Amino acid sequence: MSGGSVRPATLLAGQNVLHPHSPAEHSITVLWWVMLGGAWIGLTLVAVLLVLGWVRRNRDALPFGGGERAATRLVVGLGIVTPILVLTGLFLWSDIFVIRSTAAPARGSTALTVQVTGHQWFWEIRYPGMKAVTANELHIPVDTRVNVVGTTADVIHSLWVPELNRKIDLIPGRTNSVLLYADRVGTYPGQCAEFCGLQHAHMELLVVAEPRARFEQWLHGESGSARPGTGAEAQRGQQLFLTEGCADCHQIRGTSAQGQVGPDLTHVASRTTLAGATIPNDRTDLTAWLRDPQRAKPGNKMPELPLSSRDIAALVSYLEELK
C-alpha cells in the first residue's frame, strides 16, 4: 500500500513446525512424520480391504481362503489387536521421549533465564539481573539452553516458537517454563497460540539467535538508558513524547516517561518490527502507526493522539534515534 498507510502483516512468512532447529522440536517433528506415515498405511489398508470386499461381494470365502473363523481372526487382529499395539507404542514413545525432550528445563540446567509476559497484544521481555526490557524480539545466544519463564498481564496467551519447541500457556497468577535452544544463528518467528482477543493473530514475536558475543553486546546496549534526542527535530520529538500523553503508557528509561501500559520504548529503534512484530520498524510505518494506530491493529490500546503531521515527524525522528 502507498500513501504512508501501514503495511499488512506479512513479516512472519516461514513459520514451519516441520523445520526443527532444536533437539526438542526435532523429536516433535519425527513423531509427527511417523504418525502421518502410520495414518497413511492404516488408511490405505482399510481402503484396499473395502475395495476387495466390494469386488468379491458375491463370494463366500476370503481371498486367501479360510472360513468364518479366519474372517473373525482378521477382524480381531486388524481391528482390535493392531490398534492397541500401535496406540500403546505411540503413547509410550510420546510420553517417554517426546514429552521428556520438550519438557520445562530442570532447575539449574540452563545458562540463561528470560521472562516473557503476554499482553493484549505484545510480548514484554525481561532479562533477570539486567535492566533490559524489550518487546516482541527475544534475543538468545545460539547453541545455548535458555529457560523462558512466561506469565501474563491480562488474559491467557500461549507462547509458541514452532521451530524451537512446543507451546506453553501464559496463565494469570502463575508461571510456566519452556526451553528455547537454537542450533543455528537466525530469526525464528513465534506466535500467540491461544485466542486472546481481537488482535490475537497479530501477536507475533521474533526469536533472534545470535553468537554469544553479539548477544552480550546487544543485552548490554538494551540495559542502558536512552540517549537524549540530538538535533532540534528529535529534541522537539522528545519534548512532545513527554508532554503529549505518550509517556503515560510507555517507558523510556533515562527520561521521565515511566508508563507501564504499552511496550518499553527505551531502545525501540534497535528492533526490526513494531506492534507485536506485525509492521516493519521504519520511518514510513512508524509515521502511519502514529497517525492511525487502529488501522494496523484495530482494538489495540494505543489511542489516536491529536498530533499534527509536523509533531508526528518530530516524534518519529526522536524514536528512530533510540537505538
| Binding of ligand CUA by 118 (CB under 6 A) | yes
| Binding of ligand CUA by 194 (CB under 6 A) | yes
- Residue from 6, 112, 164, 203 touching ligand CUA (CB under 6 A): that is 203
* Three-class secondary structure of residue 247 per DSSP: helix
| Binding of ligand CUA by 105 (CB under 6 A) | no
- Residue from 138, 196, 206, 312 touching ligand CUA (CB under 6 A): that is 196
Quote the CA–CA distance of 141 and 217 in Å, as a whole number: 11
- Shortest Cβ 195–ligand CUA spacing (Å): 6
Nine-digit cell string for 208:
533472534
Binding range to ligand CUA, per CB under 6 A, among 22-30, 41-49, 50-58, 193-201: 193-201
| Binding of ligand CUA by 236 (CB under 6 A) | no
User: Which one, 170 or 322, has the nearer CB to ligand CUA?
Assistant: 170
Binding range to ligand CUA, per CB under 6 A, among 177-185, 188-196, 294-302, 314-322: 188-196
Q: Which of 196, 225, 318, 208 is nearest to 272 (CA)?
A: 208
- Paired with 137 in beta bridges are 206
User: Which one, 160 or 241, has the nearer CB to ligand CUA?
Assistant: 160
Which 3-state string (H, E, C) describes 9-35? CCCCCCCCCCCCCCHHHHHHHHHHHHH
CA distances from 119 to 153, 202, 205 (A): 6, 12, 12
- Residue from 200, 267, 271, 297 touching ligand CUA (CB under 6 A): that is 200
Nine-digit cell string for 28:
516433535
Binding range to ligand CUA, per CB under 6 A, among 63-71, 129-137, 172-180, 196-204: 196-204
Quote the CA–CA distance of 254 and 26 in Å, as a whole number: 43
- Residue from 9, 25, 112, 157 touching ligand CUA (CB under 6 A): that is 157
Binding range to ligand CUA, per CB under 6 A, among 41-49, 191-199, 225-233, 256-264: 191-199
Binding range to ligand CUA, per CB under 6 A, among 23-31, 143-151, 187-195, 249-257: 187-195
Binding-site size for ligand CUA (CB under 6 A) equals: 9
- Shortest Cβ 159–ligand CUA spacing (Å): 9
User: Which one, 15 or 94, has the nearer CB to ligand CUA?
Assistant: 15
Strand pairing class (157-160; 176-180): unpaired
Nine-digit cell string for 76:
480381531
- Paired with 222 in beta bridges are none
Q: From start to end of the chain, where are the E strands?
A: 112-119, 122-126, 133-135, 137-141, 146-152, 157-160, 168-170, 176-180, 186-192, 204-210, 273-274, 279-280
Tell me which residues touch ligand CUA (CB under 6 A).
118, 121, 157, 192, 194-196, 200, 203
